[in-house]
Structure 1
Amino acid sequence: MQARSDFLVIGGGIAGASAAWWLSRTASVTVLELESQPGYHSTGRSAALYMASYGPPQVRALTLASRPFFDVPPPGFAEHPLLTPRGALLFAHEGGEAALAAHEALVRSVSAGVRRLTPAEALAQVPVLRPKGLLGAVLEEDATDIDVDALLQGFLRGVRARGGQVVCGAGVQALRRTGGEWCVQTGAGEFRAPVVINAAGAWADAVGALAGAAPVGLVPKRRSALLFSAPEGMATGGWPMFMDAAHEFYVKPDAGLLLGSPFNADPVVPHDVQAEELDIAIAIDAIERMTTLTVRRPRHVWAGLRSFVADGECVIGQDPLVPGFVWAAGQGGYGIQTAPAAGELCAALALGHALPASLAGVDPAAVSPARPGLAEE
């Protein structure tokens, strides 16, 4: 096992894996993962949708910048396409006119593939919507499912193919910097590099504290989900993901079943999060109120952590006070759909390179850990 690299990436989820992939094109990289397998916490529990209208401005910019990579991955990156057509439909009942109009304007700002649907057209897309009082819907046609495992494994496989290493069971215990180099003590031994990338997800502030960095104010939030059976005899595979305008729930087809969530974002401490019974009950109530679906018994329930800072944007870039310490954190619920561009941005900033043309729409200052009021807002 190689003890010294040009870069140590702490965290083997999608943020760390994507940054490591871009860095490994020109530098030696070691990824240090706490768990026995990469992507155990947030990455492996994502609903995995590419939706250009989702998130605050810089997240949307990173999402749009990621689309070319998703559409045409590098040769050998994956055995099959990373994206599968899905669509995303937001519907509203009486009283939701303003929300419907605002969502349409937002989608039109990032995509030409948008349609305003009449009630009849919305029901043709999702026949289980309750028709009484239905105003219509907005369909984001170019929203797609993402193969999260293929994406994560493609990044990690590329790192290894270029001579990098991914070390599991390597939870960070201590960091110290001497002579312009970091020494990182882990459960798998000691590793050294001039630069550390902090991609530790919900634990990123804790890792930052070990390095002497000020917190960026990460708040991990629980998002719960359930899988349940589709109505017998009803073909649901071609439905778009659908959600109500008040964001009480969303549902999307998933391998012959339906995946639902209450859109919850409950602050928690970083841990191996589990779904709460109340979360699932809230989701089922909303689904059954606004659709004709009946959830008799969930097939499976789970939860994931989505970590946010005060302004909702990602935190990517060099720490303002600690040399050689680069943040790749605060991905919220957007880490999968932004991964290609976010990883490229992190690598460019860590290497001190100019941003490539592919990131022309991204403002590094707006995602920098040095941006004003980050932890105080």
Structure 2
Amino acid sequence: MTDRPPSATDVLIVGAGIAGASLAAALAPWRRVVLAEAENAPGYHATGRSAAFWHETYGGARVQPLTLASLGALLDPDPEFSDHAFLSPRSALTIGRTSEAAAVEAFAAEFGAKGVEIERLSGEAIAARVPGLRSEWSEAAYEGACRDIDVGGLHAAYLRAAKRAGAALVTRAPLRRARRAGDGWRVRLGEEEMDAAVIVNAAGAWADEVAAACGVAPLGIQPYRRTVLQVRLGVAVPAELPLVIHVGGRFYFKGESVGRIWLSPHDETPAMAHDVAPEDMDVAIAIERLQSVVDWPVAAVERKWAGLRSFAPDRIPVFGADRDENRFVWCAGQGGFGIQTAPAISALLAAQLGAPAPSGPIGRIDSLPFAPSRFA
């Protein structure tokens, strides 16, 4: 890690969260790579604030292929990359009230048609998995394959792999501006300047700002604030409680330890790119929604935090060369599913930048639906 970039590189990746770090790890064996982070350390914003899980249906049907193709790399990583898996068992329930049975059925049918293993549950079968569930929550779709992700471990493994392959990580180095110079770019990072043949925009919530600083038209990447709480309950809810998600997108919660859960009101409040903090109103809404679902007394809110999830206008990831500037490459708009799709996105994008084409399930994915040219 350094505060000063080298004088030149093949690929400058702007942003060292999970998107930038995974791409650096995939690309550095084949190209000179500099990974530039504006903060004092990588992963400070969205990556470091994630309550991440591998959930095959999360993000919708268009994201599901990226999620499924990433499973092998997370569950059984190459021994040179990690000596342990990044996933641990969880399971998930997408639930609804009796009046929402049709929505739960449609959800199960949509993903069942894509090969996702989903079991429809009702009544007592749901309550057996979520003790204290109120009776009106009578409909659910169960996914046994859902898992927790060791986000910190995965991010650190990508950074280590990138470093081993020769990538340089530069911190406290925001991209101030960049201009075309010959076949590449002259870039100002913090107070330093360097040359780069290609710029990759993996700046998360700041993606459109980075584009503008490079003279590239923004795509409309919109950050949204998401609130998460760690709640201590007055009952001994099991740590292995499933990830419980409302079919209408009004909450999710999951077991953290015995008698503790992580809870979110599933908020998506449009925000400017900045260091966000939780709002008291969102904390209160989260508690209110939880208590409408279960009869658990809330003893304390032990922790609360917020992060930014960034979406393209069509809410699916964007990766590939800009439609007008082919030496400016996007890796953005990954919403809340950037961590569970990182192995696939990084391998597919690295192949566009000079790494070998991926094989197996990742290699069978068509990158075209995720290209920036779809916004032409």
Q: Which residue of 1 aligns with 2:101?
A: 97
In structure 1, C-alpha distance between the alignment counterparts of 2:355 and 2:179, rounded to whole Å? 22
Aligned partners of 2:244 and 2:253 also within 8 Å: yes
Distance 1:364 1:226, change over 3 A: same
How far apart are 1:23 and its partner, in Å?
Answer: 0.5
* Unmatched 5+ stretches in structure 2: none
Q: Which residue of 1 aligns with 2:130?
A: 126
Q: 1:240 aligns with which of 239, 242, 250?
A: 242
- Residue type of the alignment partner of 1:240: P
| CA RMSD, Structure 1 to Structure 2 (Å) | 1.7
Aligned partners of 2:26 and 2:355 also within 8 Å: no
In structure 1, C-alpha distance between the alignment counterparts of 2:361 and 2:193, rounded to whole Å? 36
In structure 1, C-alpha distance between the alignment counterparts of 2:28 and 2:114, rounded to whole Å? 31
How far apart are 1:77 and its partner, in Å?
Answer: 2.2
In the alignment, is residue 226 of structure 1 matched against residue 229 of structure 2? yes
- Residue type of the alignment partner of 1:295: V
Q: 1:141 aligns with which of 134, 140, 144?
A: 144
Q: Which residue of 2 aligns with 1:367?
A: 370
In structure 1, C-alpha distance between the alignment counterparts of 2:293 and 2:374, rounded to whole Å? 41
Aligned partners of 2:233 and 2:300 also within 8 Å: no
In structure 2, C-alpha distance between the alignment counterparts of 1:314 and 1:231, rounded to whole Å? 40
- Residue type of the alignment partner of 1:280: V
Secondary structure, counterpart of 2:341 in structure 1: helix
User: Per-residue displacement from partner, 1:137-192 (whole Å, max 9, x unpaired)?
Assistant: 21111010000011101111001011111111011111122111222211252232
In structure 1, C-alpha distance between the alignment counterparts of 2:132 and 2:82, rounded to whole Å? 35
Q: 1:170 aligns with which of 160, 170, 173?
A: 173
In the alignment, is residue 209 of structure 1 matched against residue 212 of structure 2? yes
- Number of equivalences: 371
Aligned partners of 1:14 and 1:336 also within 8 Å: yes
Comparing 30-39 and 295-304, the one that deviates more: 295-304
In the alignment, is residue 73 of structure 1 matched against residue 77 of structure 2? yes
In structure 1, C-alpha distance between the alignment counterparts of 2:375 and 2:174, rounded to whole Å? 31
Aligned partners of 1:61 and 1:361 also within 8 Å: no
Distance 1:168 1:372, change over 3 A: closer
How far apart are 1:90 and its partner, in Å?
Answer: 1.4
Distance 1:275 1:111, change over 3 A: farther
In structure 2, C-alpha distance between the alignment counterparts of 1:162 and 1:353, rounded to whole Å? 15
Q: Which residue of 1 aligns with 2:290?
A: 287
How far apart are 1:353 and its partner, in Å?
Answer: 6.1
Aligned partners of 1:114 and 1:138 also within 8 Å: yes
- Residue type of the alignment partner of 1:325: F
Distance 1:230 1:110, change over 3 A: farther
Distance 1:76 1:40, change over 3 A: same
Secondary structure, counterpart of 1:371 in structure 2: helix
How far apart are 1:302 and its partner, in Å?
Answer: 0.8
Secondary structure, counterpart of 2:105 in structure 1: helix
How far apart are 1:112 and its partner, in Å?
Answer: 4.7
Secondary structure, counterpart of 1:194 in structure 2: strand
Aligned partners of 1:169 and 1:188 also within 8 Å: no
Aligned partners of 2:277 and 2:306 also within 8 Å: yes
How far apart are 1:55 and its partner, in Å?
Answer: 1.3
Secondary structure, counterpart of 1:363 in structure 2: coil
Aligned partners of 2:91 and 2:242 also within 8 Å: yes
User: Per-residue displacement from partner, 1:32-59 (whole Å, max 9, x unpaired)?
Assistant: 0000111111111111110111113332
How far apart are 1:273 and its partner, in Å?
Answer: 0.8
TM-score, normalised with respect to structure 1: 0.94
Aligned partners of 2:28 and 2:165 also within 8 Å: yes
In the alignment, is residue 317 of structure 1 matched against residue 320 of structure 2? yes
Q: Which residue of 2 aligns with 1:277?
A: 280
Aligned partners of 2:29 and 2:166 also within 8 Å: no
How far apart are 1:295 and its partner, in Å?
Answer: 2.3
- Residue type of the alignment partner of 2:140: A
How far apart are 1:354 and its partner, in Å?
Answer: 5.2
Secondary structure, counterpart of 1:248 in structure 2: coil
Q: 2:64 aligns with which of 60, 64, 83?
A: 60
Q: 4+ residue runs of structure 1 moved beyond 6 angstroms?
A: none
- Residue type of the alignment partner of 1:247: G
Q: Which residue of 2 aligns with 1:106?
A: 110
Aligned partners of 1:316 and 1:346 also within 8 Å: yes
1:43-58 map, 5 Å: 43-58=47-62
Secondary structure, counterpart of 2:361 in structure 1: helix
Q: Which residue of 2 aligns with 1:19?
A: 23
Comparing 252-261 and 216-225, the one that deviates more: 252-261
TM-score, normalised with respect to structure 2: 0.94
